[in-house]
Amino acid sequence: MADPVLRLAGVVKEYGNGVKTRVLHGIDLTIRPGEFTALIGPSGSGKSTLLNIIGLLDRPTEGKVEIEGVDTSALDDNGLTNLRGRRIGFVFQFHHLLPAFTALENVFLPMFSAAGRADEKMRKRAMSLLQRVGLEPWANKRTSTLSGGQQQRVAIARSLCMRPPLVLADEPTGNLDTRSADQIFELLRYINENERTAFLVVTHDPRLAARCDRIVELVDGLLVSDRSNAAM
């Protein structure tokens, strides 16, 4: 069995100094290469907090977070930033694109940030990703001129530019109509199946969750269900 791309062991998150509020209660979770997992749960259940910890944007109060076997508790802030930039991709409901930049420039921006300069290899990688998501003809268009579905495709291409083994998608279809949402979901599955990229998708849409391979449910900071969806 392949080594995990993500392993959480006893992850606890508390906020506050005097009176502490516990948001996550000892979360254990393992995700392996190529898994396509839905994270579901009601509002206020701790999904965003958990995603921030998995994405190395926040540290747990207790417990361990490993990315491809690397114990992140041993890393300082610079180490976390470097690991996050190279090993984790992000797709959000709101795309966080730079509107004055072209689609191509938005996609290779993470590579530029990592290297400190742009080169032809980066541009070729970015163009190949735009081609994969069906946006090659729009490569030199400013993202502010693209539709919501097209902007989300640019964001997906950007999330893949560093070839991360894990992509975190937070309500990636929540701001789209049903047809566009289905197209985006099919694109994520295509990438998952062809690149063996693991996905953890936060969604409130039961239709989309039902099309994932695995469903993890969080309620009141507790992992109450972790089930395979293969037989559905």
Tens digit of pLDDT for each residue in 33-65?
999 999 999 989 999 999 999 999 999 999 999
Per residue in 114-136, pLDDT (tens digit) is: 666 667 888 888 898 898 888 99
Q: What is the mean pLDDT of the chain?
A: 89
- Given a cut of 80, is residue 78 above it in pLDDT? yes
Question: Is residue 149 within 8 Å of 184, Cβ to Cβ?
Answer: yes
Query: In the prediction, which pLDDT does 2 show?
Result: 72
CB neighbours of residue 217 within 10 Å:
18
Position 115 scores a pLDDT of 66
Residue 232 has pLDDT above 50, yes or no: no
Q: What gap in Å lies between CA 155 and CA 90, rounded to an integer?
A: 8
CATH 3.30.565.10 fits 34-59+77-228, yes or no: no
More confident residue, 174 or 65: 65
Buried b (16+ CB within 10 A) or exposed e, 27-47: bebebbbbbbbbbbbeeebbb
User: Structural domain boundaries of the chain?
Assistant: 34-59+77-228
Q: Is the pLDDT of residue 176 over 80?
A: no
Tokens of 153: 């495709």
Confidence category of residue 161, pLDDT binned at 50, 70, 90: confident
State residue 186's pLDDT score: 87
pLDDT at 180: 79
Q: How confident is the model at residue 231 (pLDDT cuts 50, 70, 90)?
A: very low
What is the rounded CA–CA span in Å between residue 72 and residue 88?
A: 13
Count CA atoms closer than 13 A to 95's CA, side-chain side: 24
Distances (CA, A) of 75 to 61, 79, 132, 175: 15, 5, 34, 35
